[in-house]
Amino acid sequence: MWNLAVLTALVSLAGYYAVADKAGLEAQSQARADSLAEGMALYRDAVARYFAGHPGGQRSVDLATLRASGALPAWSPLNGAAAATPWANYRAAAGTIYIYAAQAPAENIVADVVRLSRNSVLAGVYRSGDSTLYSPIFGDTRIPLPTPADAAIPDGSPVWIVAAQ
């Protein structure tokens, strides 16, 4: 009889720790997604600030130029020692700026990006099938995105648009 009571207690503890571990992993995943989305927001602001001060024919700006120009805040993690960023940018001839992930991130950050944009129609995900911005809130926005020849936006990549000024 005592064996059954001990076995029940052990199985209950094992179940508890399995559920607690899963919740911890989900919290870590969400924290990584939040961090990536916040990094994208910082990058977007820096690129917009740079292009506002440098009108002209330049189609893209790299991270080193953003650092040298002072467009990135001094406290930004993007201003640190890392030589690369997961983000890329493209400025169309009309002045619209597209900020996107150079590779689809391991974490799905689209909902976090949309939240940071305050549910803007200019934030969403690129779907190669229709080459338009898809918003998790508004659906197909019918906002055309650059063709792969112009900017190599990977399928499923989060995209955040800066409207032309």
Mean pLDDT of the chain: 85
CATH of residue 23's domain is 3.30.450.360
Q: How confident is the model over 90-126, as pLDDT tens digits?
A: 999 889 999 999 988 888 999 999 999 999 999 999 9
State the residue range of the domain holding 49.
Answer: 2-162
**DSSP β-ladder status, 139-144 and 158-162:** unpaired
Domains of the chain: total: 1
